[in-house]
Amino acid sequence: MSNEPGEKVTVNQKNDDGLWYYAITAEGKQGPKVGPFDTEEAALAAGEDSLAKGESA
């Protein structure tokens, strides 16, 4: 995961399509939602991978 304190990945499911999206929050700012993913686990894994690669909000 990232070395930056306060960075985290959140996942949400949209009601209208039933698919999952992730967003990275850094310094209190939420980045754009990325997706869709078929499962919550897939969205979380993709978000954690992006965070580990240094991508942030």
- Indicate the pTM of the whole model: 0.82
User: What does the domain layout of the chain look like in residue ranges?
Assistant: 8-52
Q: Measure the CA–CA gap between 53 and 26, rounded to whole angstroms.
A: 14
CA dist 3 and 5 (Å) reads 6
Beta-carbon count within 10 A of 5 CB:
7
Using the predicted structure, report yes or no on whether residue 11 has a pLDDT greater than 70.
yes
Q: How many helices and strands (H and E) does the chain possess?
A: 1, 4
- Of residues 55 and 30, the one with the higher pLDDT is 30
Q: How far is it, in rounded angstroms, from Cα 33 to Cα 16?
A: 15
DSSP letter (8 states) at residue 33: -
pLDDT confidence of residue 55: 73
Tokens of residue 33, six digits: 């939602």
